[in-house]
Amino acid sequence: RKLRNCSKSKMAAAGEVFAYYGGAAGAIPAKDVSTALRACGVSPSEDEVTALVGGKATVSKAEFEGMLGKCPKDISADVVSDLFSVFDKSGNGTISINELKAHLGDAMATGQLTEAELKQMTKGFVTKGQLNYREFTASLSV
């Protein structure tokens, strides 16, 4: 099934994510499905991922695309940066990674976002405990 209501760039991004996690095997290992979906802008809970995977060891490209379903609406990097700026008390384009974790408390407490996933997402954008959210949000543009 093709992704519905997706731009060509979103379709290409989904293909790149699948190629990265699926590699030469042509299937994403079940343990990587959650991270791959999040890389495509979909944020299911761990329980939802478990239900989507259905006990399989791997997920095919068609199954992965089916999991993505309808792509989320595009949100510009500027809008996301503006949202982060609310927490930027010094106005220097950074926020404390600990403060970000505190604001993500429910998502992290329920397993929708793990510590490892947050580290992976922000890798290269954190210096001395500060997330450069301007560079981070600019990198989110597809």
Taking the C-alpha atoms of residue 57 and residue 133, their distance in angstroms, rounded to an integer, is 36
Per-residue pLDDT tens for 8-67? 666 677 788 888 888 878 899 999 988 888 888 777 778 888 888 889 999 998 888 888
Residue 128, token pair as written in the block: 């001395």
- Of 51, 52, 65, the C-alpha closest to 19 is 65
Instruction: Name the pTM for this structure.
Output: 0.47
C-beta neighbour count of 32 within 10 angstroms:
17
Judge contact between 57 and 32, C-beta under 8 A: no
